[in-house]
């Protein structure tokens, strides 16, 4: 009650800090609360924490992150800034009070780009606010922006470019030029940390501001497993759950978290580090005519070439820089032309791996003299570092305790007589009981069950997009939540591809799941997808939304998510009587209220 009252009056805390305080204090007993209160009072009186004054200057660090990379970079920057004695306000853009922006004097932004140049979920409102007429003049603000992206996609780092341009247009002064980072961002972000803190230092020193020293340890949890420090778990089972006649191989993977203490919530993702397949590495070594035991240097450490290719380098996903560099290296005019055409390059990268480059474009290399022959260090320097893959978690800890479950579609394509596999999916599909793998939990605060247990939920998850909804149902059953729930699921064939069929039917029979609508696209002459079922059930779906339903969408971002969104808009127009523009505004309002959430990839 006290926190509720405090949150209704002016507070020196950001909204994110208020929420963290609420979460922390909700776990305390009355005795613990009294101790904490006394501790804080004594610490403040002793001068360990400077009393908040009007002159005190805070370094605000905001992040917009879809997969957790931005959050990690911003958190590391906050820790470095705190260790240097700066008062720091670190917050997700989604938790930041927009009205506070005009009060800021020092702002550091870390933001990724999602989809087709779109802002990540937690950055959407701030992104829209800055672009609107409501955005204030920011003449007293100094800022810097670090943009994260993937050069394999169009609109590389677009959201960061937008933030940088708009802040400047509003009168803010750049501490540093915009820094754009590709997938292999670690080196550049480390340098940006140093550069931006150096740029901030004279501003704080000349501002006569009192600085609140906060210890490094205040924000870093000891023993926490992260992307940089994952937990070594074990595979319990990797079981195919599609039928023998299916054209796809989907695996249910169970992983033992042991005594790690790792906790996750329904809606979170699991980061999985993997090793490239030995067969793929051998093919590349033979194609390049390089010895497996040749020593190479990566980050000032020595590895055999085989070890580097298997454990350290990305082999199954190309990027523009690699294709261009390879074309120039081998002197192939055709490949060089492809690398210079964005549309052709995009398609080429989707249908080739590094092994294909080696196999198809090595003739020119072989024709060169021995002095020009590719050496091992040149090869590894061309390749990006291996990065983990994120999978939506398909289980609730309320049900499975120290396990975590995934639903993994094996990526496999036939190319010129050879099968090319996805790196992580092949690793998980091939894993035997006891196989070790490095994992970490990536929280997804923008894909959560409603806080109100009485709110209805509509879940749209074709294919492996059904994974988080298995977790949702396990959590709802464990918590005794009986409000209405509705699943839309689709795949090619009922008999071969109905993932977790027995479980869904049991939920339906028990009344835990209120209704299910299925779309098996190849079981009849005309193709039927989940978006068709949504339109067919439009009147009922609209009524659910009017009754306060939360709607969730998980799966393919390229086509499915866009088609489903269009179907939802059509429902709002037909059954809600809205114009096209009003329908778009309606779902945008649902999104801002956290009643329309997406986990798309």
Q: Where are the beta strands (DSSP E) in 432-479?
A: 436-442, 457-460
CA dihedral for 453, 455, 456, 459, sign (positive or negative): negative
List phi, psi (to 5°) of 231. Answer: -95, 140
Tell me if residue 596 falls in helix, strand or coil.
strand
Q: Enter the CATH code of domain 231-274+388-442.
A: 2.40.30.10
Do the domains 51-218 and 231-274+388-442 sit in the same CATH topology, yes or no?
no
Specify the DSSP class assigned to residue 384: P
User: What's the number of CA atoms in the CB half-sphere (13 Å) around residue 166?
Assistant: 18
74, 113, 185, 541 from 189: Cα distances, Å: 10, 16, 6, 45
Residues paired with residue 519 on neighbouring β-strands, in sequence order: 490
Distance from the Cα of residue 81 to its chain's centroid: 25
pLDDT of residue 187: 84
pLDDT tens figures, 535-583: 999 999 999 999 999 999 999 998 999 999 999 999 999 999 999 999 9
Distance CA 407, CA 480 (A): 25
Q: 237 and 251 in contact (C-beta within 8 Å)?
A: no
**Which fold is adopted by the domain 278-382?**
NADPH-cytochrome p450 Reductase; Chain A, domain 3 (1.20.990)
DSSP H or E segment with residue 297: strand 295-298
221 token code pair? 């949890």
Paired tokens of 291: 């010895």
Q: What is the pLDDT of residue 205?
A: 54
Q: How does 236-267 read in b/e, with b if 16+ C-beta sit within 10 Å?
A: bebeebbeeebebebbbbbbbbeebebebbbb
Strand ranges (E), 14-165: 59-64, 88-92, 106-112, 142-148
Q: What is the pLDDT, as a whole number, of residue 40?
A: 57
Distance of CA 244 to the CA centre of its chain: 33
Q: Nearest Cα to 100, choosing from 154, 128, 62?
A: 62
pLDDT of residue 184: 85
Helix (H) or strand (E) holding 180: strand 179-181
Query: Which pLDDT value is given to residue 458?
Result: 98
Rounded mean pLDDT of the chain? 88
Q: List the domain boundaries for the chain.
A: 1-13+20-49, 51-218, 231-274+388-442, 278-382, 457-600
Contacts of 95 by beta carbon, 8 Å cutoff, 6+ apart: 14, 15, 16, 19, 122
Superfamily for the 51-218 domain: Flavodoxin domain (3.40.50.360)
pLDDT at 216: 37
Q: What DSSP string runs through 84-121?
A: TT--EEEEEGGGS-GGGGGG-SEEEEEEE-BTTTBPPG
Tell me the backbone φ, ψ of residue 415, rounded to 5 degrees: -135, 110
Topology (CATH level 3) of domain 457-600: Rossmann fold (3.40.50)
CA dihedral sign of residues 366, 372, 373, 376 = negative
Tokens of 466: 């059904």
Q: What is the tens place of the pLDDT at every residue in 75-90?
A: 999 999 998 889 999 9
Sign of the Cα torsion 463, 465, 469, 474 reads positive
Of 201, 213, 224, 67, nearest to 142 by C-alpha is 201
CA dihedral 102, 103, 106, 112 (to 10 degrees): -50
Tokens 């924490």 found at: 49
Which residue(s) pair with 239 in the sheet? 252
What pTM value is reported for the model? 0.85
Q: What are phi and psi of 414, to 5 degrees?
A: -85, 125
The whole-number mean pLDDT for each consecutive block of 10 residues of the chain, a chain of 601 residues, reads: 42 53 57 51 44 58 93 94 91 93 96 90 95 96 96 92 98 98 90 96 64 39 77 98 96 97 97 97 95 94 97 96 92 93 94 94 53 79 95 98 98 89 97 97 95 97 98 98 98 98 98 98 97 98 98 95 98 98 97 96 88
pLDDT value of position 552: 98
Task: Label residues 375-392 b or e (16+ Cβ within 10 Å = b).
Answer: ebeebbebbbebbbbbbb
Distance, CA of 294 to CA of 303 (rounded, Å): 8
Determine the Cα–Cα distance for residues 598 and 574; give it in Å rounded to an integer. 23
- The residue whose two tokens read 């055999």 is 304
Spatial neighbors of 509 by CB under 8 A, at least 6 apart, are none
Tens digits of residue pLDDT in 227-283? 999 999 999 999 999 999 999 999 999 999 999 999 999 999 999 999 999 999 999
Q: Over the stretch 40-54, which tens digit does the pLDDT of each residue have? A: 544 444 444 433 333
Question: What Å distances lie between residue 149 and 119, 182, 217, 414, 569, CA to CA?
Answer: 11, 5, 30, 29, 29
State the CB neighbour count (10 A cutoff) for residue 97.
Answer: 14
What is the C-alpha separation between 466 and 445, in angstroms, rounded? Answer: 18
Q: Where are the alpha helices (DSSP H) in 351-422?
A: 354-360, 363-367, 376-382, 397-400
pLDDT for res 427: 98
Cα–Cα distance for residue pair 168/308, rounded to 1 Å: 43
């Amino acid at each position: 009650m006290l926190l509720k009252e405090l949150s209704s009056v002016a507070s020196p805390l950001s909204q994110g800090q208020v929420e963290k305080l609420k979460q922390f204090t909700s776990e305390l007993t009355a005795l613990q609360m009294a101790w904490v209160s006394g501790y804080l009072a004594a610490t403040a009186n002793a001068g360990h924490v400077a009393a908040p004054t009007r002159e005190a200057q805070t370094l605000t660090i905001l992040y917009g992150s879809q997969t957790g990379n931005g959050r990690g970079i911003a958190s590391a920057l906050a820790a470095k800034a705190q260790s240097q004695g700066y008062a720091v306000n670190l917050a997700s853009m989604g938790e930041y009070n927009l009205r506070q922006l005009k009060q800021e004097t020092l702002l550091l932004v870390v933001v990724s780009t999602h989809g087709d140049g779109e802002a990540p979920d937690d950055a959407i409102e701030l992104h829209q606010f800055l672009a609107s007429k409501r955005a204030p003049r920011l003449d007293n603000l100094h800022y810097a922006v670090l943009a994260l992206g993937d050069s394999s996609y169009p609109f590389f780092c677009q959201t960061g470019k937008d933030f940088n341009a708009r802040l400047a247009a509003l009168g803010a002064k750049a501490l540093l030029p915009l820094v754009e980072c590709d997938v292999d961002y670690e080196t550049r972000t480390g340098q940006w940390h140093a550069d931006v803190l150096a740029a901030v230092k004279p501003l704080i020193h000349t501002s006569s501001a009192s600085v609140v020293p906060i210890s490094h340890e205040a924000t870093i949890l000891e023993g926490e497993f992260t992307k940089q420090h994952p937990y070594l778990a074990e595979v319990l089972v990797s079981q195919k759950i599609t039928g023998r006649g299916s054209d796809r191989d989907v695996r249910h993977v169970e992983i033992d978290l042991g005594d790690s203490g790792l906790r996750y919530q329904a809606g979170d993702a699991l980061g999985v580090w993997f090793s490239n397949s030995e067969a793929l590495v051998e093919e590349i070594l033979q194609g390049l005519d390089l010895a497996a035991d040749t020593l190479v240097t990566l980050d000032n450490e020595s590895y055999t070439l085989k070890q580097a290719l298997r454990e350290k380098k990305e082999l199954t996903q190309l990027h523009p820089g690699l294709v261009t560099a390879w074309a120039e290296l081998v002197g192939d005019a055709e490949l060089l032309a492809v690398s210079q055409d964005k549309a052709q390059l995009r398609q080429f990268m989707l249908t080739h791996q590094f092994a294909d480059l080696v196999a198809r474009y090595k003739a020119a290399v072989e024709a060169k003299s021995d002095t020009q022959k590719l050496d091992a260090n040149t090869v590894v320097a061309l390749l990006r570092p291996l990065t983990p893959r994120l999978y939506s978690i398909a289980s609730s800890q309320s049900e499975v305790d120290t396990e975590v479950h995934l639903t993994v579609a094996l990526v496999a394509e036939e190319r010129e007589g050879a099968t090319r596999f996805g790196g992580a999916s092949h690793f998980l599909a091939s894993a035997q009981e006891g196989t070790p793998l490095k994992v970490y939990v990536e929280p997804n605060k923008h894909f959560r069950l409603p806080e109100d247990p009485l709110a209805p939920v509509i879940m749209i998850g074709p294919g492996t997009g059904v994974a988080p909804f298995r977790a949702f149902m396990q959590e709802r059953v464990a918590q005794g939540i009986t409000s209405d729930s509705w699943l839309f699921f689709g795949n090619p064939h009922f008999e071969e591809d109905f993932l977790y069929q027995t479980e869904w039917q049991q939920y339906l029979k028990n009344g835990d799941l209120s209704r299910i609508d299925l779309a098996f696209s190849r079981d009849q002459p005309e193709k039927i997808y989940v978006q068709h079922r949504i339109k067919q059930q439009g009147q009922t779906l609209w009524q659910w939304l009017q009754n306060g339903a939360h709607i969730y969408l998980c799966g393919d971002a390229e086509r499915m998510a866009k088609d489903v969104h269009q179907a939802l808009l059509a429902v709002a127009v037909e059954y809600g009587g809205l114009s096209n523009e009003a329908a778009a505004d309606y779902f945008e309002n649902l999104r801002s209220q956290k009643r329309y959430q997406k986990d798309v990839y």
